[in-house]
């Protein structure tokens, strides 16, 4: 796990100082090592968190024949099998690193090489012979990669910070991305929140050719999946060797692995599987909110930890402690996302980092096996949703901001961009095969939007801020393909989701835990945005340049008053607080960095 960045040009080579500045802003992603290399007009840099081949995995990696230069982030999980395959075809390796598979897979298989890689990864591969550079990203977007073109140069980095640091243009807000964040909780699609910076889409390579042109090549699509006509027993039989293979590959590491344990099915099943694959008790961590009126998950997590005899740490959290993680969470995320769970995730990562470099978590289980209640809406409800918001059956396209507050809060430029919020969701929905069910379309739309641009932003950035690698076996592309291929009736009924996964887990997990009501992970933010906190925040919000530029001050004051008097406006208020702090870090005062536990009011 690493941070990678670079400046690519056919005419204007970067300076070492430019590359070191990029590396400086990615240092948290790789505290163990760093490397830099310039060849002709291309320069690359990497900051490394050592997981596999601790002594010999220094990057950039240069091939034995000198033709290729590579920087990479993530893990190639099938590197053992792939190395044997490539060595049989004459490839000569210079390291034991899993990342080196990328070089030789490209040398042997050409532009289709990424199809051979199983894992989570982002990379930059320089081919000196053809004077071309290839950027690539894994199938589900587990690892991030951004790029920007400026003055004949192609800039890339694992995080927005690494590109902003190398651009000559001052950063400006991308209006469509800001509106998506406000209305959908996150911004999705190719445009990042900073103007002129793009996400490399998942399952895609970008080739920077010798003539300066760029070519995007998708190499995988979940839309190729077709429904398999099978019984529950047949599906269970097929899944057993698949999950065994995936876990065997995922536990490969030269350092110990732990687990973030919630009270849910997904992480409990991962604990069962990890217990089978590790000789020592698994190190597990969970968080809860003992002062909250919400029902927490600590008890469920502690029950499962005891059942599997893991070495467990329960972390009780209180409002001030969680709010203190907001500045560092915003700085680490780069992207704007209103996911309250990013704050306790950062705290989990901070605790885990004291002992571990690798932690497993259960992201992807709900999307692969249809665990969300929103997937189970009846036909009549879907019909009326489609009438009101055509294009995706109403799925994911209803704005989250109350229409009253939309008109009172949003400035003219934001109100003029209202069509932007629906486009990526409708695009994903329309990509699906005609024969797919409504359920499959919902799963796919989430996998293409909310998963890479919200849930995985949280999973990657919050952990990497503290030098921890996150592994997510349910997002292995083979698991996703399997889950999408199952008939609907094996995944859901009107009362519950994840039917198949629960059936498969029955042999490992007690039924009273497995079939309890799904709770989700709820953070009691509304209880923490107290009248006193809101009163202190209001004046700072109104003085913030980003708030003044994009929102109506009278609406902001009215929103603060509503939260103080009646509550219930935490979603809208939290969105503004996060944006104001983000604007400070990335627009007004780029380069500023908060401490690990700062009062958020200091950064408004």
And the tokens for 198? 């793009």
The CA radius of gyration of the chain, in Å to the nearest whole number, is: 24
Residues 64 and 120 in one domain: yes
Number of H helices, E strands in the chain: 28, 17
Ramachandran region, residue 184 (left: φ > 0; alpha: ψ -120 to 50; beta: rest): alpha
Residues 179 and 233 in one domain: no
Lowest mean pLDDT: which of 20-24, 76-80, 251-255? 251-255
Residues 434 and 554 in one domain: no
In this prediction, residue 416 carries a pLDDT of 87
Identify the band that residue 98 occupies on the pLDDT scale cut at 50, 70 and 90.
very high
Whether the CB-CB separation of 40 and 13 falls below 8 Å is answered with yes
Whether the CB-CB separation of 334 and 26 falls below 8 Å is answered with no
Q: Which residues contact 379 (CB under 8 A, 6 or more apart)?
A: none
Q: Is the pLDDT of residue 481 over 90?
A: yes
Q: Confirm whether 15 is domain-assigned.
A: yes
From residue 214, alpha-carbon distances to 132, 189, 209, 419 in Å are 10, 19, 6, 28
Residues 42 and 136 in one domain: yes
Ramachandran region, residue 207 (left: φ > 0; alpha: ψ -120 to 50; beta: rest): beta
In the chain, % of residues over pLDDT 70: 93
pLDDT tens profile 124-161: 999 999 999 999 999 999 999 999 999 889 999 999 99
Q: Is the pLDDT of residue 353 over 80?
A: yes
Q: Is the pLDDT of residue 380 over 80?
A: no
* Paired residues of 122 in beta bridges: 73, 137
Q: Confirm whether 337 is domain-assigned.
A: yes
* Paired residues of 514 in beta bridges: none
For 15, which DSSP code? P
- Residue identified by tokens 């840099």 is 45
Cα–Cα distance measured from residue 579 to residue 535, given in angstroms and rounded to the nearest whole number:
18
pLDDT tens profile 227-254: 999 999 999 999 999 999 999 999 998 8
Q: Residue 341 is part of a domain; what is its CATH number?
A: 3.40.50.620
Mean predicted lDDT score pLDDT of the chain: 92
pLDDT tens profile 392-419: 666 777 778 888 888 899 999 998 887 6
Q: Confirm whether 449 is domain-assigned.
A: no
Whether the CB-CB separation of 470 and 459 falls below 8 Å is answered with yes
Residues 91 and 165 in one domain: yes
Residues 76 and 186 in one domain: yes
**Which SS3 state, helix, strand or coil, does residue 39 take?**
strand
**Count of CB atoms situated within 10 Å of the CB of 13:** 16
Q: Is the pLDDT of residue 54 over 60?
A: no
When mean pLDDT is compared over 56-65, 180-189, 396-405, 551-560, the highest value belongs to 551-560
And the tokens for 346? 């950062």
Domain final residue, candidates 418, 443, 468: 443
The number of C-alpha atoms within 13 Å of 560 and in the hemisphere containing its C-beta is 19
Identify the band that residue 438 occupies on the pLDDT scale cut at 50, 70 and 90.
very high
Q: Is the pLDDT of residue 56 over 60?
A: no
In this prediction, residue 365 carries a pLDDT of 97
What sign does the CA torsion over 395, 399, 401, 405 have? negative
In this prediction, residue 57 carries a pLDDT of 60
Q: Confirm whether 519 is domain-assigned.
A: no
Mean predicted confidence (pLDDT) in 575-596: 96
Q: Which residues contact 596 (CB under 8 A, 6 or more apart)?
A: 325, 328, 350
Cα–Cα distance measured from residue 578 to residue 590, given in angstroms and rounded to the nearest whole number:
16
Identify the band that residue 30 occupies on the pLDDT scale cut at 50, 70 and 90.
confident
Identify the band that residue 390 occupies on the pLDDT scale cut at 50, 70 and 90.
low
In this prediction, residue 53 carries a pLDDT of 54
Q: What is the pTM of this model?
A: 0.95
And the tokens for 98? 């899993």
Q: Is the pLDDT of residue 50 over 60?
A: no
Q: Confirm whether 550 is domain-assigned.
A: yes
Domain final residue, candidates 443, 471, 500: 443
Residues 388 and 270 in one domain: no
Residues 108 and 190 in one domain: yes
**Count of CB atoms situated within 10 Å of the CB of 71:** 29
Cα–Cα distance measured from residue 68 to residue 66, given in angstroms and rounded to the nearest whole number:
6
Mean predicted confidence (pLDDT) in 378-393: 57
Residues 34 and 119 in one domain: yes
Mean predicted confidence (pLDDT) in 425-440: 95
**Which SS3 state, helix, strand or coil, does residue 589 take?**
coil
Q: Is the pLDDT of residue 387 over 70?
A: no
Identify the band that residue 324 occupies on the pLDDT scale cut at 50, 70 and 90.
very high
Domain final residue, candidates 468, 485, 514: 514
Residues 230 and 213 in one domain: no
Cα–Cα distance measured from residue 161 to residue 327, given in angstroms and rounded to the nearest whole number:
15
Cα–Cα distance measured from residue 584 to residue 171, given in angstroms and rounded to the nearest whole number:
11
Q: Which of 466, 450, 497 is closest to 187 using CA atoms?
A: 450
Q: Confirm whether 323 is domain-assigned.
A: no
Cα–Cα distance measured from residue 56 to residue 41, given in angstroms and rounded to the nearest whole number:
27
In this prediction, residue 334 carries a pLDDT of 94
Q: How many domains does the chain have?
A: 4
Residues 201 and 230 in one domain: no
In this prediction, residue 422 carries a pLDDT of 84
Residues 348 and 422 in one domain: no
From residue 231, alpha-carbon distances to 242, 479, 572 in Å are 17, 18, 45
Mean predicted confidence (pLDDT) in 430-441: 96
And the tokens for 563? 């939260």
Identify the band that residue 165 occupies on the pLDDT scale cut at 50, 70 and 90.
very high
**Which SS3 state, helix, strand or coil, does residue 576 take?**
helix
Q: What share of the chain is helix, strand, coil (3-state, %, to 5)?
A: 45, 15, 35
Identify the band that residue 298 occupies on the pLDDT scale cut at 50, 70 and 90.
confident
Mean predicted confidence (pLDDT) in 210-238: 97
Cα–Cα distance measured from residue 87 to residue 104, given in angstroms and rounded to the nearest whole number:
9
Q: Is the pLDDT of residue 52 over 60?
A: no
In this prediction, residue 290 carries a pLDDT of 83
Where in the sequence is the domain holding 564, given as residue range(s)? 529-603
Whether the CB-CB separation of 170 and 155 falls below 8 Å is answered with no
And the tokens for 547? 């708030």
Cα–Cα distance measured from residue 255 to residue 48, given in angstroms and rounded to the nearest whole number:
14
Whether the CB-CB separation of 82 and 102 falls below 8 Å is answered with no
And the tokens for 44? 């690359």
Q: Can you give 223-241 as a three-state secondary structure string?
A: HHCCCCCCCHHHHHHHHHH
Mean predicted confidence (pLDDT) in 320-342: 94
In this prediction, residue 526 carries a pLDDT of 87
Q: Is the pLDDT of residue 548 over 60?
A: yes
Q: Confirm whether 343 is domain-assigned.
A: yes
Cα–Cα distance measured from residue 290 to residue 465, given in angstroms and rounded to the nearest whole number:
26
Cα–Cα distance measured from residue 159 to residue 4, given in angstroms and rounded to the nearest whole number:
9
In this prediction, residue 255 carries a pLDDT of 82
In this prediction, residue 383 carries a pLDDT of 52
């Amino acid at each position: 796990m690493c941070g990678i960045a670079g400046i690519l040009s056919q005419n204007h080579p970067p300076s070492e100082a430019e590359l070191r500045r990029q590396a400086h802003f990615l240092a948290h992603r790789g505290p163990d090592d760093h490397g830099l290399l310039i060849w002709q007009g291309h320069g690359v840099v990497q900051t490394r968190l050592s997981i596999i081949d601790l002594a010999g995995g220094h990057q950039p990696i240069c091939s034995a024949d000198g033709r290729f230069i590579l920087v990479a982030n993530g893990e190639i999980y099938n590197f053992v099998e792939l190395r044997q395959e490539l060595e049989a075809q004459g490839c000569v390796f210079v390291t034991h690193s899993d990342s080196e598979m990328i070089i030789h897979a490209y040398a042997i298989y050409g532009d289709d090489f990424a199809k051979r890689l199983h894992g989570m990864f982002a990379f930059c591969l320089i081919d000196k012979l053809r004077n071309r550079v290839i950027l690539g990203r894994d199938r589900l977007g587990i690892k991030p990669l951004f790029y920007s073109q400026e003055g004949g140069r192609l800039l890339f980095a694992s995080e927005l910070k690494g590109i902003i640091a190398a651009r000559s243009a001052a950063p400006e807000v991308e209006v469509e991305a800001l509106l998506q964040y406000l209305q959908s909780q996150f911004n999705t699609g190719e445009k990042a929140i900073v103007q002129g910076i793009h996400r490399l889409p998942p399952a895609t390579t970008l080739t920077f050719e010798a003539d300066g042109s760029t070519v995007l090549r998708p190499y995988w699509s979940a839309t190729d999946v077709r429904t398999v006509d099978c019984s529950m027993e047949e599906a269970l039989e097929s899944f057993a060797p698949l999950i065994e293979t995936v876990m065997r590959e995922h536990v490969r590491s030269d350092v110990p692995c732990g687990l973030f344990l919630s009270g849910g099915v997904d992480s409990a099943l991962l604990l069962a599987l990890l217990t089978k694959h590790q000789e020592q008790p698994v190190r597990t961590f969970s968080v809860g909110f003992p002062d909250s009126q919400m029902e927490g998950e600590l008890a469920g997590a502690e029950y499962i930890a005891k059942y599997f005899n893991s070495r467990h740490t329960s972390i009780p959290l209180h409002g001030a402690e969680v709010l203190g993680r907001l500045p560092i969470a915003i700085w680490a995320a780069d992207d704007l996302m209103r996911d309250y769970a990013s704050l306790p995730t950062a705290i989990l990562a901070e605790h885990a980092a004291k002992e571990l470099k690798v932690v497993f978590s259960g992201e992807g289980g709900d999307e692969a096996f249809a665990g969300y209640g929103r997937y189970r809406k009846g036909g009549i409800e879907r019909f009326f949703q489609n009438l009101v918001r055509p294009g995706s059956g109403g799925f994911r396209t209803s704005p989250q901001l109350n229409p009253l507050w939309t008109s009172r809060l949003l400035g003219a430029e934001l109100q003029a961009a209202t069509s932007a919020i629906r486009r990526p969701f409708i695009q994903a929905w329309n990509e699906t095969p005609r024969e797919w069910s409504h359920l499959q379309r919902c799963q796919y739309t989430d996998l293409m939007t909310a998963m890479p641009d919200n849930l995985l932003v949280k999973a990657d950035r919050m952990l990497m801020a503290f030098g921890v690698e996150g592994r997510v076996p349910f997002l292995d592309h083979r698991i996703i393909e399997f889950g999408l291929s199952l008939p609907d009736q094996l995944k859901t009924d009107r009362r519950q989701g994840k039917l198949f996964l629960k059936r498969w887990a029955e042999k490992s997990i007690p039924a009273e835990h497995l079939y309890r009501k799904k709770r989700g992970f709820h953070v009691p933010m509304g209880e923490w945005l107290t009248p006193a906190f809101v009163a202190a925040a209001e004046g700072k919000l109104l003085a913030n340049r980003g708030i003044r530029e994009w929102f109506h001050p009278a609406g902001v004051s009215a929103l603060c008053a509503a939260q103080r008097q009646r509550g219930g406006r935490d979603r809208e208020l939290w969105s503004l607080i996060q944006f104001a702090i983000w604007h400070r870090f990335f627009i007004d005062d780029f380069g500023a960095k908060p401490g690990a536990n700062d009062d958020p009011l200091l950064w408004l």
